[in-house]
Amino acid sequence: MDQTKSNLITLDFSMRWLFIPPVTAIFTITLTTLFSSGVAVPVDPAIWGLVGLMFVLLTVLYGIFIKQYFFAGLLPVQMIAQGILLCPLSLRMGAAALSWIGVTLAICGAVILVALYYHSRANLLTAEAPKSELTTLPLPFMITDANGYIISASDFLLQLLQKSESDVKGEKIDELLPFDKETANIGGREWRVLQSPMEDGTQYFQLEEAREISVTLQANTGSDDVFVDTATSLYQQSYAIKRVEEELYRIYRYKRWMSAALLCVNFPENENSSSFDSKKERDIFNDYCRFVNSNTRETDISCLVAPHDILIAMPETSLEGAQAIVSKLLDFPAHIQEKIKELECSMDVLERTVFFNASSGVLDFDRLMGKLDEAMKS
């Protein structure tokens, strides 16, 4: 966020303190004086004491709302405070007609404040529900209110920021995540900040790791920073699991859908075939993996889940669309057919494709694999 915007936010925040109830009461007293008829009605000192106490408490509540960024509650608190003050003040200064305005202000302000309270509580519970249910997912995300103040943050993002939830709750999100650059360096990695509005008026922010996919990367060293296996051109399993679970969360939260396919490659033994672990069979399998990678979309997520088992996750894809993609992968290209013929063996691919949506109960990678295993056995 640029400096100009920061100054505007600070100025706006400071101006709110100029309208706390005691300051606004100056205008209430002035207005009452203008409408005074000179016929004063005595007001019991106990009433003044009660009004004074309530006025002080409402002023404190006004200040708390400013501190907690609950700006929607400032107007109704102001209405209650000025209405309560106006009731005895109008009688004492001979402007009895204004007392009904005071009563109306106080009642309307109280009704609005109660409605706002229950509405904000409902929004908070809705926003925090996904986090409590999916706290184990490695998702770096935050949820803010409509004004950009943080309501909740995932454990994974808090770990990246090296902060606790109490440190970030109530803070402005652009003070933690930069929006003036294409990527942000957090936890030693480069991230893009993605934003999406939610149905209850809150905002969902998620970090997506910036990556450059290339089959010429170094061979896998076990580091999570290596995204692609050079031999197969498929994603490393650790990275693919994170990507898949991010998609699973999106499906759950936004009522979307996904299809997934499991391709089990087998080299049936015959009298002319070599052993299962032969270098040539491995070369053929790696060629097939590269063929799979080149014939899936950029948004699809493919990786090895077993020595000869390939998982393909296809977000926003119907079952029919996924089956059409898989059918193309069962038609081996000419160079693979030639290698199979040279090896004098055969290669079979057993496939199963499943479709699921937000109501399917698939919330993590293990449950996804369980669904595919069940499909394989059926």
Nearest residue to 224 (alpha-carbon basis) of 207, 248, 241, 244? 241
Q: How confident is the model at residue 2 (pLDDT cuts 50, 70, 90)?
A: very low
pLDDT digits 0-9 by tens, 311-329: 999 998 999 999 999 999 9
pLDDT digits 0-9 by tens, 148-194: 888 888 887 888 888 888 888 888 888 887 766 667 777 777 777 77
* CA dist list (Å): 304 to 187, 209, 356: 28, 21, 21
pLDDT digits 0-9 by tens, 216-252: 333 444 444 468 888 899 999 888 998 898 888 888 7
Higher pLDDT, 161 or 215: 161
For residue 304, the model assigns a pLDDT of 94
For residue 205, the model assigns a pLDDT of 81
pLDDT digits 0-9 by tens, 27-54: 988 988 888 877 778 888 888 899 889 9
Higher pLDDT, 311 or 253: 311
For residue 353, the model assigns a pLDDT of 92
Task: Give the separation between CA 177 and CA 164, rounded to whole angstroms.
Answer: 15
Q: How confident is the model at residue 275 (pLDDT cuts 50, 70, 90)?
A: very low
Nearest residue to 156 (alpha-carbon basis) of 176, 139, 131? 139
To the nearest whole number, what is the mean pLDDT of the chain? Answer: 79
SS3 content of the chain, % helix, strand, coil (to 5): 50, 15, 30
Long-range contacts of residues 191-197, Cβ cutoff 8 Å, at least 24 apart: 191/140, 196/254
Residue 306, CB-side half-sphere exposure with 13 Å CA sphere: 9
Fold for 242-377, please state it: Alpha-Beta Plaits (3.30.70)
The residue ranges of every structural domain in the chain are 3-129, 242-377
Distance from the first to the final alpha carbon of the chain:
55
Higher pLDDT, 144 or 199: 144
